Amino acid sequence: MKFAYVCVLFILIVVENGSKAYPLDEESATAPEDYMDYVELDPMDNVAELQKTSTGRTWLGLATTLIEKPAHHAFVFHFPMATQEQLELSGLIKSVHQRLRDSAKQQDPETVWKEHVRDEGLLKSYAEAMHKLATCYWDRTMEVSCKRSNSRIEWVVASCRCYFHGATPLLYLFREKDDKVMQAIDAGYRYEHRPYTIDRIKLLDVGSCYDPFASFPDFDVTAIDIAPAGSSVWHCDFLEAEVNKTLSIPSISEQHHSIEAFPGDHYDAIVFSLLLEYLPSSEQRLRCCRKAYDLLKPEGILLIITPDSRHQGANAKLMKNWRYTLGLMGFSRIKIEKLEHVTCMVFRKCIFPTVGKRWCDIHREAYMEPVLNIPQDFNETKLEEKDDSAMDVPRTDEDDGEIRQAFAGLPFLES
CA–CA dist 214, 222 (Å, integer): 9
CA–CA dist 260, 275 (Å, integer): 19
Q: Around Cβ 48, how many Cβ atoms within 10 Å? A: 18
Query: Was 230 annotated as part of a binding site?
Result: no
Beta bridge partners of 234: 224
Q: Around Cβ 267, how many Cβ atoms within 10 Å? A: 23
CB burial string 224-237: b at 16+ within 10 A, e below: bbbbbbeeebbbbe
- Close Cβ partners of 30 (under 8 Å, ≥ 6 residues apart): 24, 60
Alpha-carbon distances, residue 109 vs 44, 60, 123, 194, 383 (angstroms): 21, 39, 18, 42, 19
* DSSP-derived secondary structure letter, 82: P
Question: Hey, is 315 helix, strand or coil?
Answer: coil
Query: Was 225 annotated as part of a binding site?
Result: yes
| Binding residue numbers | 207, 225
| Binding residue numbers for S-adenosyl-L-methionine | 207, 225
